[in-house]
Each structure stands twice: as C-alpha cells, then as structure tokens.
Structure 1
Amino acid sequence: MHDTLAETIRVEGTRILATLIRTVGDVQLAEDAVQEAALAALGAWPVTGVPPEPRAWLTVTARRKAIDIVRRERARPGKERAGLELMEIGRSDGIVPDSVVRDDLLRLIFTCCHPALSPPTRVALALRTLCGLSPAQIGGVLLTTEVATNKRLTRARQKIAAARIPYRLPADDELPARLPAVCSVIHSLYTSGHAPMEGETAYDVDLCAEAVRLAELLHELLPDQPMPSAVLALLLLTEARRPARLDEDGHVVTLDQQDRSRWDKQAIDRGIAMLNDSLLRSGRQADAYQLQAAIAAEHARVPSYSATDWWEIVRLYELLVSIAPSTSAHLAYAVATAEADGTASGLAMLDELPPSPRWHAVRAELLARDHRYAEAAEELTRALAGPATDPERAHRERRRQVFLDLAG
C-alpha cells in the first residue's frame, strides 16, 4: 500500500503540485497541501483501498487541504484579505487560462523562468518546484554543491516574495524571450534522468520520459522556433540509444560495445530530421543544443563504432566548447580527440582539465590503451572514491580488476 502511494507521488507528484500551484497561486501553500494530502492517503488507503485513480484522489485532497490551510491562515491577524483572495483562486480551479500553453507543468516552467531571476536560479527553482528534484540532484545538474543549491533556492524564494513576482503565465508574445531558460530546464531534467549522479539505477526512465514529453509540448507550442526543435532532436537521438546501455544482467555497456540493432531507428530518423529543420530555421548558425544533437546524430547515423567520423565529432566539440564550455563537454572533447588523433593527444587535453570522478575514469581508459594498466587501475580507484550510480560503480570496479590482472 505504501509502495503504491510512494510510486504515485514519485511519478505524479510534480504534476499534482503544478496543477495546485496554478490553482492557488502560491508555491509554499501548494507544497504544504500536497504533503498533507500524501499523509492523508497514508492514513486512508490502508482502510479504504487504493482508489481507482490515485492521482485524481490526491489532487482533490490536496486542493481541500490548501483551503484548510488558507482558513487556518485567515485566523491569524493580518491574513484575512490574502486568505479570501486565495479562496477565490481555489473556486476558479476549473477555468483554464486563455493561453496557448495548456500543460500545467510546462506553464509553470515558463513562470519560474522569470527574467528577474538569474539563469542558474531559474533552472534550480524549476527543477526543485516543478520537477521534484532534490537539492543534491540539482547540484549535480548545475555542477555545484547541495549546500550552494539550498542557498540559491532560498534566495530565489526571498526575491520572488520581495519583488512580488507572480506565479502566472507570461503573455504569448513574451514566451520566445524565455525560451533559453525553459529549454535549459527541460534539458537539465533529461540530463538528471539520463546520467544521474548517484542511485540504484543507471538512468531514471520516468524523468527521461517527462523531459521528452515537455520537449514535445514546447515544440508544438512554438514549432517555428529552432531551439525547441533542437532540444527535442537531442533528446530523441540520445534516448534512442537507451535500450542498449545495459545488458541483460544490468551491466553497463559502453558505446563501443553496444548492440546498435537495439537502437530506436524511428527515433533516430525523426531526431535527425528535426535537427536539419532546426538548422535551416537558424540559418545554420548552430547553438549548443544543435551542436550536441549533431554529435549525437554522427554517432547514430553510422552502423558501427569503427565507422564513426571522429574528426567531424572533434570539429563539433571544438565549436561546442567555444560557445558553451562545460566540464562534460571538455571531457567528451578529449575522448573524441583521443579517438581521432591518438591517445597522447587525448591525455594532453585531460591534463588541462580539473580532476573529477569521471575525469579519473576517462583517464583510466586512455591509459589502458597505452598498456599502462597499473596507472589505469589507480585512476579507477580514485574514480570509485566519488559519487556514482550502482551500475556505474560496478562497471568501474570490474574494469579496475581487469587492469589489475593485466598489470600482473
């Protein structure tokens, strides 16, 4: 019973929260109401059974809890007017706002991406409030710490309250200006599911599916804008390879060993077509999403790892790090360079980057190519000291043992 509730909250909780935020217009109130609804379900469902539509039950209960909270607030001095206004909002829940955006979650992502907030803060706030990620997960996406993320979220809420930034949908003519932040949120959401920092699984299927769904909605909303098309293309091309990332025993399978017959060819074809359309609409002036999608397309379009055009991938990464430098892009650039120009070139590029668990893992594989197995094992020992998912940790441990055996 508790497992059913936990699964419903995990999968549907952010959508319930998004709907309630639109209803009451207050994030803290909505979060408190959803938490109280979950506690109510824990008490009621073991007695009455799980309702046929758990999400609907939780949504209705959360709305009632919100009204109860408002009533309690009205009993406090100075809260009467605000309470009445929130009650009126609650009564208008059935009215859909007159806007081209029809999805609560997407609508509220646009809302959280207010221009008064800095870009990283917009991403952090949306991922926390609307996508349900923990501060630790957000820190992993934004390459910062959990403590720093909590401070950023606190400052964001304080700024919203002080500036009285409304949780409402911007006018339709304002939507394109918020596209970069919205695309960043959707891409970050997918990244957190595709490559989580820690956990029992190599990827979170639900988070990836939700990100793809939002990308589809955003593309439908603004089909003539190149950036949403590029984001969707990137997600489709990346998601197409997911079936081959693990073997039947749940072990990580690296790109060079993947069974490409398991890749989703339909998703690849659509992703490449959307990328081409996006490039035409932008006059072939590629942004970061288009470049990442182009890299994914290069991998997807060839029948084998050995057939990969590594020099073209190096060229694309060179462009990517020039316009959107990041640790992950620089690491991938080094790997591509090693494939195209030899191990020594790749190692030289790595030496210019700050160490991290993934950096140590990448360096281990390059050292092993030069038969420097003892050094490679040492690098994986360092990589294992950092965070990783259980499948990735097991993969690194297996590789480390292989290198130790080869080192004699």
Structure 2
Amino acid sequence: MDILVVGGGGREHAIIWSLAQSPKADKIYCAPGNAGIAQLAECVPIQVNEFKKLADFAEEQKVGLVVIGPDDPLADGIVDVFEHRQIPVYGPRKNAALIEGSKTFMKDLLHKYNIPTAAYAKFDDYTSALQYLQQQSMPIVIKADGLAAGKGVTVAHTMDEAVDALQSIMQDKVFGEAGSKVVIEEFLAGQEMSILAFVDGETVRPMAAAQDHKPAYDNDLGPNTGGMGTYSPLPHIQQSIIDEAIETIIVPTAKAMVAEGRSFSGVLFAGLMISPDGTPKTIEFNARFGDPETQVVLPRLQSDLLEIFLATVNGTLADIEIQWSEQAAVCVILASGGYPAAYAKGLPISGLEHTDEQALVFHAGTALSTDGEVVTNGGRVLGVVGLGTDIATARAKAYEHAEKITFEGKHQRSDIAAKAMQDQ
C-alpha cells in the first residue's frame, strides 16, 4: 500500500519512521517533508494548506491511505476534502477538529458534560476581558481561542504580565484571528501529563503516557514553546492516576463528541494536570499526534501503526489489541537560537552521521541546501531520542547523542525528564 503523510515536522518524521516498519507499507510520500523525512519517503513540494493539490496527488498516485499530521489543515477541513473525493484518510473531520481549533468550544464541551477542567471565563472583546482579569488573583492563564502553533498560552504570575498577554492577543493580534476570543483560566498547579489515544467514535485505545516540557528554558522558565522535550513512561505518576484520567476525561470526551454530532476519528490528545492530591484535570485537547510526544510514544509502540490507522478508517478499531514496549524513551529538542522568538535559518548542521541503535534523530525544522547539505529551517530543528531500560538510561543516551550534533546558536534544555529522576 502506498501512503501519503501530510506535514513536515518531527511528528511526521516519527509517524513515517513507524509506518515504514509495516510490511503493508510499500511507498511513502510526504508533503512537504523535510531533510530527515527524505531518507524514508519521497518528499513532494505541496504545502499542507493546498488541499486540492494534495487530493489530486493522492488520486494520481493511487495512494491507499492519507495521514494528516498538523493541526491547521485539520481545523480547516482537509479530512472532509479527502472524504468527499472518497480517498481513505486518517484524522478527524473539521467539526470534530474544533476541539483543538477553539478553546472556547473545548471548555464549554467539558463544562456541559462535567468533565474535570479548570474554572474559566471566555471573552470576545478586550474591555470585558480586562475588567474580569483585574478582579482575579494571580497566577492566571490567558489563552488565545484559536490555533497559535502551541504559543498562544501565557501563565501570568503578575497582573502586569496578565494585562500584557491579553493586550498582545486581543489588541496587538500577535496570533491573528486566533486571538479574536480569549479564555481566561484558573491556574492549576501540579504535574503535567500527556495522554494520546487512538479514537474512533466511542472506541478509545490509549497510548503510553508522556510528559512534555513547554517553557523554553531550564526549570520551566521563559516563554512557552511548541515543546522542548518529552519522555515516556512516567515512573513518578501512579498507573491508577493514569487510568483515572482515561476513564474520567478521555473516554467521556469521546462520548461527548459523539453526543454532539461531532464523532471523533483519529488521535485525541489530552494535556492534563495532576493536582497535588492526585486528581487529573484537563488543560487542553489536541486533535492529532502531539509534537514532541509522538517522538517518544511511537518508539514504544510494538503493534503495526498502519494496521491501527486502517482499523480506524474501516471502523474496526475496537477489534484490535495494541501492544506497548516496557522500554523508556526521552526526547531532547535542539532549537534555533532565539526560539520561540526570531531565529536564523539556513545554518549548516553537523554530527548527523553519528548513528546508534539506542538513539533516534527526528528532523523537525530542517531542509536540504542547494548543495545537498542539511541546514536549519525552523525554530525546533531536531528531536534527539534516547532509548533504554529506564528513564535514566534513555536520558543519558539522548543527551550523549545531542552533544554530537551542532549548529550555530543551538539551544536545548538540560533538564528534560529531571522530574522523573527526582521523584524516583
């Protein structure tokens, strides 16, 4: 079977790496792809928002399955376009992808169905939002309603920070129309946890849990990013808490979407906070694989990813068993200097030739120069994944391998998975 994967980041590289291991996978295409993906798939110069061109290509090449990676095309209805042309596609339709595309919709859904989440208020005008904000205690969370590449959330510790964030979103429009509405949310303290699940309607098959590191700098300081690293499993979080999160949050949300006439098919990704008393609450939902969570979750998948995708598309996800490895995985993101603010592109990357069975390198923001050299092409450049029998071993391998890769201005956090180490 020939497959087309839409996207060009670290998530898509990990998806393609996993799909390539399936005996059913023949040729894999990726649009637009990146320098690392090009080693596993044929990259096609079509952008993720060029729906007609993508569908035309899929028809011309007679691909058996299209897999959608990023959030923007899902929110804009790419799955509906492929379904209309009767091209098999993996991912949620536009009306279901709204669970990520609008934080207001997501919060209202959870409130309606009594699914645990933080207290919140929503606003579509700056004056009302400001008046409400000035009556709140700090810290508080300010969120742009729409998609903002993982950067539309501010945890404000002072009123000045909160007002600045609100003004940036609603008045300065730093996130464009994504900031036409805001959600102002109670700050939740505790341990963060990500649980991704393969979902088809009310059928939920959870993946291995992971923990992301959003802030740019060590000790969770600095602005939020798309994610600076992640790890799986979570030895410091009891399995009973993970099970509770699945049963009280993810499963009820899948059922709520069906009840709302928005049946979800694809990967439903819950960003959760575990309070000090062990109670999980919802921070956010995403309508696709997380990035960089995918880079540590899929290396632990022992089942055939293509079989899972096909079972979902064919409505038989409930009939298959999914197996996970006991090994640990830790991902360290190598970012461009200045990220998540302005950064340079086109800088040569060295050290990629170093290979190791216990270390994987997933390309995110890379490209090939005119002379065939791999260069930087984004804020998050590479995800270096270490594998091992436990978190400590995997973490050591990830950092060991990360040190071998260099480019001008390279930035990485030095404390990825440190929380798991401290609590063991």
Q: Same fold (TM over 0.5)?
A: no
| Richer in strand (by share) | 2
Normalising by the smaller structure, the TM-score range is: under 0.3
TM-score (norm 2): 0.25
TM-score (norm 1): 0.26
| Richer in helix (by share) | 1
